Structure 1
Amino acid sequence: MTKVKICGLMDKETVDATCRFGADYIGFVFAPSKREVSAELVRQITKDVPATIKKVGVFVSPTIQQLQQTIAIAHLDFVQIHGDFPTERVDIPMIQAKSVTNTQNYQTIADFLLLDAPPKEYHGGNGVMFDWQAVNLNQLPQIPYFVAGGLRPENVQQALCYFQPFAVDVSSGVETDGQKDLKKIEQFINQVKEYDYVSTTR
């Protein structure tokens, strides 16, 4: 079954609702962004999150010390890294975000790969789709991968059909006027569940 990551969460009400709707991963941004949060805040707003739902910290070119400190304070389960990827490992699974271009090399030492649109104002969460056909699926490393970049309830099933990914990742696609929209979050997750159900009952 396809996993769902809802990223850029900033308050407990949205975190709790997102968990209730059935998300598998919830993401928190620890880099310059309109969605940036502190490690202390994340620890507070995720205190009721079930252990089965994984907390992902999103970073841009972090040092290993920044990662370790934030993991310890926010009680993260995964880290997602855009930009420069550290040469050292941390003790939790690592996701490397790569911008899709015609010349991109997708090889990675991370545990997971995330395909995203090239950066604009921020490294992620810009609501921009990339050219899906620019990705040669046969050249991707043999590790689970996430697909992000401009996904929303209206197009996520198309992305699932094209990529058959391990997980899909959304932030701005479930927002209204720059704020997380609970109705859109629920719709997005339901679209993924519906696709999986139909695929397994054909």
Structure 2
Amino acid sequence: MTDLVPWLSFNLSVLLLVAYEWRVHHVGQRQPERLARYANAKLRMHWVVSLSGKPGHEIVAVQALRNSLMAASISASTAALAVMGALSMTGPSLAANLSRWSGENTLHTLLQAMLVGLLFASYVCSALSTRHYSHASFIVSIPVDRPERAELNSAAANHVRRAGLMYSWGLRLFLMVLPAVAGVVHPLAMLPATVLLVFGLRLFDQPANDVEVD
């Protein structure tokens, strides 16, 4: 196997992922209802607005946000554990390869670094999600009839929107570890793994459809 083939597999995989995310962003800016992350962000903002005019629903709102916060916390904890596990397994070889950077080990070292970087980025996004959910919880726990609540409703809606997007990105980055792991095992496995990932992300991005019940 020549050095060109593994690098070609790597470049095609990265290009495929970038092209997919660019298309998702492009479509989402113009037709947000077609993509789950944008449609759900809008739904969460509508949820905050609808509860802001209903006295007595503060506990319900806080409980709903607590459930979302716990989900984001679990994702952050899982990513953190995965980072520690990846560093335990690849840390020594990664440090050794970085100290003697060469053409033979460059791709393998890069994939190892990407693996750790993706897991850490997933942790950061999930942690930011918990931060936004926490801020939103403080706001929605304020009684609806208080004047300061009306002033903070827009901030609560924005926090919930950002929390959902960060949580989504945390999950997506965690899933993007798949091609990196496949590439570490064998460079040629990265492209099929990326195709499988894009197919999964496409399903992940489809919004829920209304189901009519007779």
- Normalising by structure 1, we get a TM-score of 0.27
TM-score normalised over the length of structure 2:
0.26
Structure with bigger gyration radius: 2
Higher relative contact order (CA 8 A, sep 6+): 2
